[in-house]
Amino acid sequence: MSRASLEAIRSATPAVLPSLLLCDFGDLKGEVARLADAGTKVLHLDVMDGHFVPNMTYAMPIVEGLRRHTDMPLDVHLMISDPLAYAKAMVDAGADMLTFHVEAVKDAAAVAQEISDLGVNVGIALNPETPLALLRESLPHVDMVLVMSVEAGFGGQKFNPVALEKLQVLRKEFPDLLLQIDGGIDTSTIGPAREAGCDLFVVGSAIFKKDDYKAAIAELDDAIAKAEGTAS
Ligand SMILES: O=C(CO)[C@@H](O)[C@H](O)COP(=O)(O)O
Ligand SMILES: [Co+2]
């Protein structure tokens, strides 16, 4: 799917993207089916290497396994020190969007262009402490900016409102840029993020800590609609 999936992602906005960090990995197929039934349009996959962040998750085999079980675009959040070393393998495994961290690389614009040349959509992520200025040069080379509202590495952390200021600045300057937020998103933080101009909302705990994913996602969608003034 890769490149073509950007339109699928855009047309799903505003969208809640479940983060599979906190799902039941003993029943991955069932989890994906439950999320699809709950109306999920895009999946967010957190790849951590135990080096760029002090946590480890999974890599290409899980992406490839998911690819065989769903047509949903796979949005892969690379929290790894050397994104270029694994970018092609991730594309081959079936990733549709590869997002790397600006803090991990020396020349973000060049990394973004190299990833884009692989025929996949590219996102660039920045942690709460990282200034927007650091990613300016790379913006012409990316399809999406991921504004972290927690320090990358773990689910279940508290939302940092500094992300809202960054979203507002980016939305004002780049009306067409796809904007994503990740970390501590729940029914109380998703509305302010939408008001700040965000398109894609990554959610871990506020879905996977609930028994009923459909109800959890519906509540998040309602909060977005309220923020837009379109709630019924
Ligand atoms: O990238 C990350 C964490 O580094 C995320 O995608 C989290 O998995 C989101 O989890 P919650 O903050 O919603 O619990
Ligand atoms: Co993430």
The two tokens of residue 85 are 């070393």
pLDDT, tens digit only, all 232 positions of the chain = 777 789 999 999 999 999 999 999 999 999 999 999 999 999 999 999 999 999 999 999 999 999 999 999 999 999 999 999 999 999 999 999 999 999 999 999 999 999 999 999 999 999 999 999 999 999 999 999 999 999 999 999 999 999 999 999 999 999 999 999 999 999 999 999 999 999 999 999 999 999 999 999 999 999 999 999 877 6
- Taking 3-state DSSP, the helix, strand and coil percentages for the chain, each rounded to the nearest 5, stand at 45, 20, 35
The number of domains in the chain is 1
* Residue indicated by tokens 């959610």: 203
Is 62 domain-assigned?
Answer: yes
Pocket test residue of 46, 52, 187, 189 for ligand 1, highest count of atoms within 8 A of CB: 46
Is 145 domain-assigned?
Answer: yes
Entry pTM:
0.97
Is 232 domain-assigned?
Answer: no
- Beta strands of 59-210 (E only): which ranges? 74-79, 97-101, 121-126, 144-148, 178-182, 200-203
CA distance 124 to 134: 11
155 lines ligand 1 (CB under 6 A): yes
> Is the peptide bond between 161 and the residue preceding it cis, with omega within 30 degrees of 0?
no
Annotated active-site residue in 49, 182, 199, 221: 182
Range of the domain at 106: 2-227
Say which DSSP state 135 is in. Answer: G
Spacing, Cα 48 to ligand 1 middle (Å): 11
CA distance 184 to 192: 12
CA distance 126 to 104: 10
Is 207 domain-assigned?
Answer: yes
Domain of residue 156, CATH code: 3.20.20.70
Run of H or E including 123: strand 121-126
Is 14 domain-assigned?
Answer: yes
Task: With beta carbons less than 8 A apart as the criterion, state whether 17 and 44 touch.
Answer: yes
Task: With beta carbons less than 8 A apart as the criterion, state whether 184 and 158 touch.
Answer: yes
CB atoms within 10 A of CB 202: 24
* First-last CA distance in the chain: 34
Spacing, Cα 204 to ligand 2 middle (Å): 9
